[in-house]
Structure 1
């Protein structure tokens, strides 16, 4: 069993215990139990839990299509609540790349020699993230990545950053560590170790990937074309083809269309090919982002300089 590396020694005692405990917990059993619980229809108890959750995490229900916590039949219905119409306008420029989720930027920059920054002093392999598919990794080598963390208070549906046609979905087995900043700073290769769904799209500007990373207590991951992908938990790598390049039945999603959702929170990693796009300078670690806002632009990137959003930062 791999244990937390030396980078975790900079964390406080409480944080180290929190991370260390995750190596011992029955991650899959707990996540399966959470999925079952969030689907229950127990009106009195569920409505009380939702009210407590809203107060505890500061959830803004004014943005929801249904702002009344008593209207939700289960905790999962509340957690995956849709936004009200017009809550998040999309960019007006066709070249703009829209943020796919509400959340916070964990890291953003360039894939450097096949590696992505996870946290200060830590990186992980692009090829491993993509399930060991060397050919697929080559399509994003030296491209751009953005790791976006969804906190408990956030809206938990995932949307298309740009128009694209689905090529395939990879379901990759793995652990179910928490993906919060504390764990990301301490568990080596976290995002390439956890269970995940990799959605590959072909766009007018080249390939695009969205990696939906599972985590402890993430009851399930869903996509609009396949429905629920997990549970059951992924036991081996699965390639879910969307048909060959001439198959008109492959789904095409427009920019802003819903792609999927987390039934409980997690992380999305957006991958773009080399030389086709640039991130906005504001896309820096720690920045709060909202679905629909502009996080980048398609087109040849400007010259990179130290500390820019187009370069890997730590």
Structure 2
């Protein structure tokens, strides 16, 4: 039986955790999110050496940052460090053609089977796939019964994302939205968070199957760049219209990047299965196996 003192300590510890979560949520979500995001976009690009050095040092102090695999060793600004490229060979790609790899470095969040048009946001909280896709009911139906994986990129991670398989991009659609934080604390408190935030819907064709990537922006990171789009195309000026696309990318080729940390939701049709050794909290590196494609001849 738990003693009175032990019970009191547990309650105090739980209360402290609750207070820390309240403070985290307050600091990252109750401030003017768009204003903070615009400010960060401006400030991070300052190339003055002192500002750059202090900014990068502060970032490394508060985040788990590893720059040892970066292509460059010096950066003109904090932004350049955020969106750094990797040196060749830093992320081996699983070449097995039956495997869909992780498009980014990430922590695996909610994942599983898409049922009744819903996905798990966090334990006990679901959201609508159609809402995530901006009301595209046809695309949502194409994924019903399929697999999904939520990949969370922390602020210190490598921020570029890559082709999870040899593919053709069929269309890109930008959906305007908010910039809520996407950390677990916010996921527990903000209903349908991914459906509220700014995001893009990338419809891909992979080995005859429709696979969709949904990069979701967050506070300080509303910027999303897609390198395969024609030069001069600005996603935010498309007013939510789907952009037809014919870009072909090899497995592991760069697709784009976030300008801080965020989330990518990977949606696959029926027949795709998550690799059996993966579980929530698993740290993935870009190029590592994420899902297995259906066996040849399967629907």
Tell me the CA shift for residue 153 of structure 1. Answer: 1.6
Alignment of 1:142-291 (within 5 A): 142-226=145-229, 236-242=239-245, 250-275=246-271, 277-291=272-286
Tell me the CA shift for residue 101 of structure 1. Answer: 0.7
1:78/1:23 CA distance change after superposition, 3 Å: closer
Whether the 8 Å CA contact 2:212–2:268 is kept in 1: the answer is yes
User: Does the residue aligned with 1:270 lie in a helix, a strand or coil?
Assistant: strand
1:16/1:229 CA distance change after superposition, 3 Å: farther
Residue 4 of structure 2 corresponds to: none
Which stretch shows the higher mean deviation, 45-54 or 17-26? 17-26
User: Does the residue aligned with 1:92 lie in a helix, a strand or coil?
Assistant: coil
1:94 partnered with 2:90: no
d(CA) in 2 for partners of 1:15, 1:228: 41
User: Does the residue aligned with 2:148 lie in a helix, a strand or coil?
Assistant: strand
d(CA) in 2 for partners of 1:229, 1:215: 22
User: Does the residue aligned with 2:68 lie in a helix, a strand or coil?
Assistant: helix
1:236/1:12 CA distance change after superposition, 3 Å: farther
Gaps of 5+ in 1: 1-8, 243-249, 302-314
User: Does the residue aligned with 1:77 lie in a helix, a strand or coil?
Assistant: helix
Tell me the CA shift for residue 22 of structure 1. Answer: 5.7
1:51 partnered with 2:47: no
1:29/1:151 CA distance change after superposition, 3 Å: same
Whether the 8 Å CA contact 1:221–1:230 is kept in 2: the answer is no
Residue 312 of structure 1 corresponds to: none
User: Does the residue aligned with 1:45 lie in a helix, a strand or coil?
Assistant: helix
User: Does the residue aligned with 2:228 lie in a helix, a strand or coil?
Assistant: coil
Aligned residues: CA RMSD = 2.3
Whether the 8 Å CA contact 2:29–2:181 is kept in 1: the answer is no
d(CA) in 1 for partners of 2:275, 2:210: 20
User: Does the residue aligned with 2:200 lie in a helix, a strand or coil?
Assistant: strand
| Count of residue pairs brought into register by the alignment | 281
1:80/1:228 CA distance change after superposition, 3 Å: farther
Aligned with 2:41 (options 25, 28, 35): 35
1:134/1:231 CA distance change after superposition, 3 Å: closer
TM-score, normalising length: structure 1: 0.83
1:26 partnered with 2:61: no
Which stretch shows the higher mean deviation, 210-219 or 47-56? 47-56
User: Does the residue aligned with 1:185 lie in a helix, a strand or coil?
Assistant: helix
User: Does the residue aligned with 2:219 lie in a helix, a strand or coil?
Assistant: coil
1:199/1:36 CA distance change after superposition, 3 Å: same
Rg: which structure is higher? 2
TM-score, normalising length: structure 2: 0.87
